[in-house]
Amino acid sequence: MHYQGFSLLELIVAVGLFAVVATIAIGALLAISKAGKKAFYIQTNQDNVRFTLETIAREARTGFCYQDTSTNPGEVCPAFATVNYCKGQYAGPLEGCFQFRNSRGQDIVYIISTSAPLCGGSSPISCILKSTSAGAAGSFFPVTAKEVQIVNLKFRVFGEVSVGEYIQPRVMIVIRAQTPGINSLSTVLDVETSVSQLQLDRLLFAL
Amino acid sequence: MAHRANFYNSINRSRSFTLLESIVAIYVFLTGVVGAMTLANQSLSAASVFKDELVAANIAQEGVELLRNMRDTDFLMMQSSGPCFPPSCDANQAFNPPAACQDLNIGCRFTNLLALTLRSATGLTPCLNTVASGRECNFLKKDSDGFYQYDTGIVTKFDTRLFITPSNIANRTTIPVYPVHDWVVRSVVSWNRRFGTMSYTVNSQLTPWLE
């Protein structure tokens, strides 16, 4: 009687094939899950940057008295005795502070911060804070989520001087946001925009 | 023994897969796998397209904002010598973009985004290439501070063009000495992707310097 089982060669080939297919399949599955995670990080990053830029731009457009870290007191807003909270804050390469008066008369400050308690997360963290009362102690609250690191925030104000100058104020805003994640999962987003004051500067102060 | 012979025979007689069946089975299996892979891949590439679009949208918006700033600065400069009421204003100082800006085949760009004053007389530079000959109006550069500009930094893929044309609809003829028509503004940011060119356009309208 002739019983046919698998020969050793057949088994080796079969197991070998199975191993190859299994490796490819598992690799593909891992790639899918990684891609999904990365897409989620990118999405989170974009949502935060879009929201923040939109918030700042909309409010600043109808506001006035633009001031950044280099604006000297008395240069702007002759009609208001506003202290520039940003002056000297993060002077040098970090220009991450911007102050203006919004259409409701509040003195708004946006500033980059690495303070874990203020950002609402655990250290190391970097976020954008907002104050609606000229940076008074305890008035700051975060506008970006703790899942996103704000690596770079810069405001550059042009034409902020109101007396003896004929330049309509504008501000350039640069945000670089990064989601944590390791190696290839980390995503970086650089966005820039500008806002020009809506009201004519000199008509505003009747100079 | 007979038992075994029957068993063996029954296996032998059982129908195996035909070539067609195998092909169909493998095809169905592959369709499923490829579908899942494509989905994952596309969601990733879509996310990266959105990333480019977000950056481009903000740059295009910036173009419109800066033009408005230019219009306002021109107006303030006209006022600098005193109250400006016709005909005491110098019409040559009014917002008046160069001819290239008004040519829909060429377009122009800002001379220097980090300049203190943006004035229409000097702040706009004609693009070198026509729209038909492709991009390279001047690719934006990104400096070490993260600011997009034209002078220093790493060259990015973004080409920005401004088209500023006089509006025919709202021609205002009440004060004929001045260029008092509305300006239709198109700020176009385009960039190359693997398959073709993408672009993002912001349209706006600038009213005359004197209302």
Record the pTM.
0.80
CA distances from B147 to A152, A160, B8, B62 (A): 11, 19, 79, 12
- Give the residue ranges of chain B where pLDDT is below 50: 1-2, 175-177, 211
How far is it, in rounded angstroms, from Cα A162 to Cα A181?
A: 46
Confidence check: pLDDT of A206 > 80: no
**Closest Cα in chain B to A39:** B44
How far is it, in rounded angstroms, from Cα B126 to Cα B73?
A: 20
- For residue B45, count CB atoms less than 10 angstroms from its CB and return exposed for 0-12, middle for 13-18, buried for 19 or more: middle
Give per-residue pLDDT as tens, A150-173: 988 999 888 887 667 788 899 999
pLDDT attached to residue A142: 93
- Cα dihedral A85→A86→A91→A96 (10° resolution): 140
pLDDT attached to residue B211: 47
Q: Which amino acid is at A103?
A: S
- Range among A57-71, A193-207, B42-56 rated most confident: A57-71
Residue B72 to residue A53, Cβ atoms within 8 A: no
* Listed range (A36-40, A142-146, B92-96) with the worst mean pLDDT: B92-96
When scoring B62, B67, B114 by the number of chain A Cβ atoms within 10 A, the one with the most, hence best to mutate, is: B62
pLDDT attached to residue B207: 79
Confidence check: pLDDT of A131 > 50: yes
pLDDT band with cut points at 50, 70 and 90 for residue A207: very low
Please say whether the beta carbons of A118 and A109 come within 8 A.
no
Q: Which amino acid is at A197?
A: Q
Confidence check: pLDDT of A113 > 70: yes
**b vs e for A33-68, b when ≥16 Cβ sit within 10 Å of the residue's Cβ?**
eebeebbbbbbbbbebbbebbeebbebbbebbbbbb
Structure token digits, residue B198: 């993408």
On average, the pLDDT of chain A sits at 84
pLDDT attached to residue B62: 93
Residue B65 to residue A194, Cβ atoms within 8 A: yes
Cβ-nearest to A200 among B37, B76, B80: B76
- Chain A and chain B share a number of CB contacts under 8 A equal to 117
Please say whether the beta carbons of B39 and A35 come within 8 A.
no
pLDDT band with cut points at 50, 70 and 90 for residue A13: very high
Helix (H, G, I), strand (E, B) or coil at B203: strand
pLDDT attached to residue B1: 47
Helix (H, G, I), strand (E, B) or coil at B190: strand
**Closest Cα in chain B to A189:** B51
Residue B146 to residue A174, Cβ atoms within 8 A: yes
Residue A42 to residue B113, Cβ atoms within 8 A: no
pLDDT attached to residue A110: 93
Confidence check: pLDDT of A80 > 80: no
pLDDT band with cut points at 50, 70 and 90 for residue A87: confident
- Provide CB contacts within 8 A for A11, sequence distance 6+: none
How far is it, in rounded angstroms, from Cα A129 to Cα A93?
A: 19
How far is it, in rounded angstroms, from Cα B105 to Cα B123?
A: 20
